[in-house]
Structure 1
Amino acid sequence: MPRKDKYYNRAKQQGYRSRSAFKLKQLDREENLLGQGDVVVDLGAAPGGWMEVAAEEVGADGTVIGVDRQRIDDIETDATVETIRGDMTDEDSREQVREVAGDVDVVISDMAPNMTGEYNLDAARSAHLARMAFETALEVLDSGGDFAVKIFQGQDVDPLREDMEAEFKYVRTMTPDASRDESSEIYLVAKDRLTAPVRVGDEVTVTIEDIGSKGDGIASVEGFRLFVPDTEIGETVDVRIEDIKPQFGFAERTD
């Protein structure tokens, strides 16, 4: 049986609106995207298959916000579900998402362009939509938040991935089993949004303000804590950033 029939039939049997629900299920299973109580924004959400999966995973304490130009029928779920009718390439729609969503734990996007059959053009349009989703994710994701986005393979994938790697702890490229054999789609899954004012490899000068429980000095860069070993309170030292976590980082002396 062709793969498209398998997932189409499975979606019908399990009550999902689209076979793409199984793509998100696999992304979530392998990268733990969705959790109880999360606030999730789904870009390009119609007909609502990804929203159904997200609502199942976030539960009664979670919220799912779906955005699409098309109308999205109501979803029966214990989770809080909202819909925004708009075009993510339009600034007014993106502003509405920012106003409604507040602090968000996960942004997911399965947006795809209207297909022309011209591969390079379709890939470029897909990349534009993925870039819009990425920019929205940067604006609404809380520290430590996750992001998953569809993009067609082409020359724009690597630049987008590089930009995502600068903003998240790590990025993985995935092709779910439910993707059709003839499709050029891939998914970039980014984990742990970094909101620190510094990045790995940056060199800065800091003043040690306190000593942590393990003996490392503690400095602050725009309110972001850095742990620096072999330092004492009151020292001003040059350091290189070695690792970044959502709420703190580690640095080594360079002086």
Structure 2
Amino acid sequence: MISVVGFRIMPRKKRDVFYNKAKQMGYRSRAAFKLKFINEKFGIIKAGDVVVDLGAAPGGWLQVAKELSGGTVIGVDLQKIEPIEGVITIKGDMTSPETQQKIFEKVEKVNVVICDAAPNLTGNWALDHARSIDLAKTALDVASRLLVPGGNFLVKVFQGDLYQGFVEEAEKRFSRVYTYKSPASRAQSAEIYVIGKGFLTTKIRKGDVLDVTIEGIGKGGDGIARVDGFIIFVKGAKKGGRVKIRVTDVKPEFGFGKAEK
């Protein structure tokens, strides 16, 4: 302990309100409150969702995910995760096909993938940032193999030169992407969370220009076109016409477009 002018300075963990609250409530880490805040704002995990937590040890996020979904929750980590009631744990490399196959042996679909993992820190900020982005990219790639159309994704990254590029990569795979610093994150921390909602399985993206045939008219009066089986609603288009359109929005199961002038 260090004393200054007669006052004892407590270690940071002892002064940390979320650390103390986690101990009182039985959570394995203060990070549990980060997920609580994020889910309250963005609704990533809903009742009944199947959730996979990548890099899940020691299990704070698994505890919260189980509370929020009430459904199947699977934690994956290279380290052994001490048992949590109602939670499935898998010891293995999240990138390996064998580990991913073990997940699908437990469930037929995954609605949400979350990842609060961080690289081993070296103290070299540029290196630590690059490792954080590389880990987040790995989690994004794994999520893309696991998620159902419309699924959600959450990952922690460190801010830096490579951060915006990662956000843009996430935007290619989800209909909506948000960034958020949780109130439970320490003020001095460079960590930020990237949230992807509405996983896209189509290669069509907002801004694409396409030549399409209007096959029919929807109930709302918009033309209906199909590109590789993906439906695009085209405002004001007439049935039977061939038209060049610009995609204005993409959802997991359909998109919207307007005719190019």
Query: TM-score higher than 0.5 here?
Result: yes
Match of 1:186 among 185, 188, 192: 192
CA distance in 2 between partners of 1:124 and 1:93 (Å): 25
- Counterpart of 2:59? 48
1:73 maps to 2:103:
no
1:252 maps to 2:261:
no
Deviates more, 1:108-117 or 1:89-98: 89-98
- Counterpart of 1:155? 161
CA distance in 1 between partners of 2:165 and 2:152 (Å): 19
2:183 partner amino acid: D
CA distance in 2 between partners of 1:200 and 1:69 (Å): 37
**Structure 1: which 5+ runs fail to align?**
none
On the 8 A contact 1:44/1:67 being kept in 2, the answer is: yes
How far the C-alpha of 1:99 sits from its partner, in A, is 6.0
Identity fraction in percent = 50
CA distance in 2 between partners of 1:178 and 1:73 (Å): 24
Match of 2:31 among 20, 24, 27: 20
CA distance in 2 between partners of 1:99 and 1:202 (Å): 37
TM-score (norm 2): 0.88
CA distance in 2 between partners of 1:252 and 1:130 (Å): 35
1:31 maps to 2:42:
yes
**Structure 2: which 5+ runs fail to align?**
1-9
CA distance in 2 between partners of 1:219 and 1:71 (Å): 50
Q: Give CA deviations for 1:219-255 in whole Å, capped at 9, x if unaligned.
A: 1111111111333322222111111122111111126
SS in 1 for 2:226: strand
Q: Give CA deviations for 1:129-172 in whole Å, capped at 9, x if unaligned.
A: 11100111111111111111011122221111010111112222
- Counterpart of 1:140? 146
How far the C-alpha of 1:127 sits from its partner, in A, is 1.3
- Paired residue total: 250
CA distance in 2 between partners of 1:20 and 1:106 (Å): 18
How far the C-alpha of 1:87 sits from its partner, in A, is 2.6
Q: Give CA deviations for 1:8-41 in whole Å, capped at 9, x if unaligned.
A: 1111111111111001001101111110110111
SS in 1 for 2:16: helix
On the 8 A contact 1:42/1:67 being kept in 2, the answer is: yes
SS in 1 for 2:64: helix
On the 8 A contact 2:95/2:142 being kept in 1, the answer is: no
**Aligned pairs for 1:82-101 within 5 A:** 82-88=88-94, 90=96, 92-94=98-100, 96-97=102-103
CA distance in 2 between partners of 1:161 and 1:46 (Å): 25
TM-score (norm 1): 0.90
- From the superposition, tell whether residues 154 and 95 of structure 1 become closer, same or farther in structure 2 (CA, over 3 Å): farther
**Which has the higher Rg, Structure 1 or Structure 2?**
2
- From the superposition, tell whether residues 101 and 131 of structure 1 become closer, same or farther in structure 2 (CA, over 3 Å): farther
- From the superposition, tell whether residues 241 and 221 of structure 1 become closer, same or farther in structure 2 (CA, over 3 Å): same
- From the superposition, tell whether residues 96 and 122 of structure 1 become closer, same or farther in structure 2 (CA, over 3 Å): farther
CA distance in 2 between partners of 1:104 and 1:234 (Å): 39
